[in-house]
Amino acid sequence: MATASGGSPARRRANAFDLGGKVAVVTGAASGIGQAIAVKFAEHGARIAAFDLTREALAETATLAGGSLETFACDVSRADDVGAAFGEVKRRFGRLDILVNNAGVAHIGSALSTDEEALDRIYQVNVKGVFLCTRAALGLMLEEGAGVILNLASIASFVGLPDRFAYSMSKGAVLAMTRSVAIDFVKRGIRCNCVCPARVHTPFVDGYLAKSYPGREAEMFQALSEAQPIGRMGRPEEVADLALYLCSDEASFVTGAAFPIDGGVLAQ
């Protein structure tokens, strides 16, 4: 049986997954997985700084999360934006305990069909954006001597996916950054992990189907769902549940890890 540091049997806290008193930045919080994480964390007591390109885009998230959420306009690919936003987080909240690097963009194409502009855009948001926000967050967390960083990677961090060259490149980088930050700061009270979803039903999926398969959306939605062994896409709320665990004190022994949430894809 696992024991606590004092030698007595470890006991589960009565208020498991409580984020009360903690301040969390969630990027890309206007919809999909980012919105679900922001709302879930707010439900468990965290004060949320929700980042997206505009405050207007965050209106629905703010309504769902209630009074514990404040909105910030921030383009994570721009160093000036990121510096200003995290400075405002420090001014408004006085501290930072959790960063969720969720903001990201997708791209469809192989190494042959991906042009330089598309590759640069993916890199700027999915790689540079994670770096900029992580660097800014570390400065605040080190003041407290503790913190948690959670990155949104992908099953594309592990396996090749057809026509996802640039996207897979970026998510492989997210996995590598996760492990690097975990090792560099493990002795300074900061944990860093990532979650690696397969296909999750978000507004992006609906937009992709409407654009690529007009009139066949329902048919293609079913085909994409059945491509995963479990027979359906994931739900943003399911990813948020995993994020809650990893950012809570229940995961205090977990760092440098990558958690697939994939409906069985990687088990094939």
Q: Which residues are catalytic?
A: 167
Measured between alpha carbons, how far is residue 206 from residues 53, 54, 217 in Å? 20, 21, 8
Q: For residue 121, what are the contacts with CB-CB under 8 A and spacing of at least 6? A: 105, 107
Pairing of β 147-152 and β 190-197: parallel
* SS3 label, residue 54: coil
Exposed e or buried b for every residue in 59-88, given b needs 16+ CB within 10 A? Answer: eebbeebeebbbbbbbbbbeeebbeebbee
